Structure 1
Amino acid sequence: MVSDCCLSGFEWDGTPTGSEGTLASNKAYIVGPESPAAILVIADLFGWTFINERLLCDHYAKEANATIYMPDFFGGEVVDPAILKAGPPFAFDLEAWHKRNWKDVRWPEISACAAALREKHARVGVIGYCYGGWSSFQLGSSAHTPRLVDAISAAHPTWLTKEEIDAIGVPVQICAPEMDPTFTPELKRYANEVIPTKGLPYEYVFFPGVAHGFATRGDPGQEREWAAMLRGKRAQVNWMKEWLHGDGKW
């Protein structure tokens, strides 16, 4: 489930450099060079207009040399980032949001966007934050023949299940903060026990002393949070470069 930690964090300053377009039938933030490689970024609940995640997309485009697409998967609903400054208690109905955006509601759009990228690009990766965690694992499932995507990276995943971990069929990276009520110690242990038995490239990157949301909403004024965010961004860039621009063999 989503929880109050999904509404905590810091809004960054900056001016995104990409443009708004469409992917499949969804509005999308698009940035980067025309490339054989594409990265589908699946946002947390702040969605496709959130400045922090658009700025991260800009970095991925430049540093991973890929075309980046971050679609709207929440039906046009935008959570006002002002809630980050207001802090708890949050005047937001997480349970209602949960029902509007549950897996079976949004999965058709998510899979359609991945399929559209597969038609256009030779290699497709997925970076998912929070809500993007379960969906990146489903996109990387071994049930898809041929594969929908070539590699995934999930940071502080939400709604992820053991069954989705069991089904993973592509190179997978997890960026895991120490404190996370959504990616629990039990799920961390399960992932680290099961994924290495799959014969897949697997990278588990642990971030001590930080909490859920660090990768997209870390506070520049907090040295540990900001350093963790930068380390996470570098890890994800390197993972995507390896599996989108490398030889792709494993």
Structure 2
Amino acid sequence: MEGAAKGEVVQIGPLATYVAEPPAPNAHPDTAIVFFTDVFGLRLNNPKLMADKMAETTGIRVYVPDLFFGEGLDPDSLPIPDTAEAARNQTGILWTVKKTFTIAGLVPWYLRHKASKHLGHADEFIQALKTEHGLKTLGAVGYCYGAPFCTRYNASGDAQAIVLVHPSSLKAPDDFASLRAPVSFALAEEDHAFGPELAAQAKAALKDKPFDVEFVTYKGTAHGFGCRPNYAIEDVRKGFEGAFAQTCSFFKKHLI
């Protein structure tokens, strides 16, 4: 994504955090959206640009914490297929060997930045937003790696609504049955991390919940379309725009 970020990075609790401001004057000063990134973190400019647009669209301030302390994964180290068809074609011996070597090379990073190692930092960050910044209503959107943080704060009552965009590292049924506030899923057509079986389990666990639940799957997309889209591919562009609009609409409905 191209463009210049408009916000600034400040320290909130233990985490450096990008802050995107809504149009002035802020009509919802005690409300905010927390944007939990994928594994690339703020090493990519995309989350900053998306947060700026999200704040503009919703009228709500957006916070993007850097859970990786400046060590977001190098985007060039983890190629992601752009389309559902490309993801389905990742089969065969050569691809398996390539995947094995790629994952092996990333093991040290994953060991340093397992979600479990950053839950405490995220908890401190959320509490700082509430106690030091006076926030009373929080939404959370999680892309891939960021999804478990969203479900954590939904289940704890800290987040009043969450959106999960091509989520990963979620387990059924516990991560779904424990949810207690509105949740929206924006899913890829082809996704190794959240495929049809897991989606079906999530739907089953949430079907009788007394709050708003929605599932939307975007045609022709693969994991990553919601935060690292290839605009040259029409289905991917439409998927990205659709998931972003879905996110903003859900937060406007449940946070304002």
User: Which range, TM-score by smaller chain?
Assistant: 0.7 to 0.9
Letter of the structure 2 residue corresponding to residue 124 of structure 1: L
Indicate the SS of the match to 1:140. helix
> For 1:46 and 1:217, how far apart are their aligned partners in 2?
10
- Listed one character per residue, the Cα deviations across residues 51-97 of structure 1 (whole Å, up to 9, x for unaligned) are 11111101111001111110110132132334478999586733332
Determine if contact 1:36/1:66 at 8 Å carries over to the other structure. Answer: no
Question: Is 1:244 paired with 2:249?
Answer: no
Letter in 2 for 1:199: P
Measured in 1, the distance between the counterparts of 2:77 and 2:3 equals: 19
1:135 aligns with 2:139: no
Aligned to 1:107: 119
Q: Which one has the largest radius of gyration?
A: 2
- Is contact 1:45–1:131 with CA below 8 Å preserved after alignment? yes
Choose from 126, 130, 151 the match for 1:118.
130
d(CA) in 2 for partners of 1:78 and 1:54? 14
Tell me the TM-score normalized by structure 2: 0.84
For 2:206, give the aligned amino acid. Answer: I
Partner amino acid, structure 1, of 2:125: C
In the alignment, structure 1 residue 56 sits paired with structure 2 residue 50? yes
Which residue does 2:4 correspond to in 1?
15
Uncovered stretches (5+) of structure 1, i.e. residues with no partner: 1-11, 246-250
Cα gap change, 1:210 to 1:118, in 2 (>3 Å):
same
| Backbone CA RMSD of aligned residues | 2.0
* 1:78 partnered with 2:72: yes
Matches of 2:195 and 2:208 in 1, distance apart?
21
CA contact 1:128–1:135 (8 Å) conserved in 2: yes
Equivalent residue in structure 2 for 1:223, among 234, 238, 251: 234
Greater shift in the superposed pair: 71-80 or 56-65: 71-80
Cα distance in 2, alignment partners of residues 85 and 176 from structure 1: 19
**Offset from partner CA, 1:177-226 (integer Å, 9 cap, x none):** 11000012211000111112221211111112110000001111111101
Query: Which of 196, 211, 214 in structure 1 is aligned with 2:207?
Result: 196
Q: What's 1:97 paired with?
A: 109
**Which residue of structure 1 aligns with residue 225 of structure 2?**
214
TM-score by length of 1: 0.86
Checking the alignment, whether the CA contact within 8 Å between 1:40 and 1:127 is kept in structure 2 is yes
Distance in 2, Cα, partners of 1:217 & 1:71: 18
- Structure 1 residues 137-163: Cα deviation after superposition (integer angstroms, max 9, x where no partner): 11111xx2xx21111001011101111
| 1:122 CA displacement | 2.5
Paired amino acid for 2:225: F
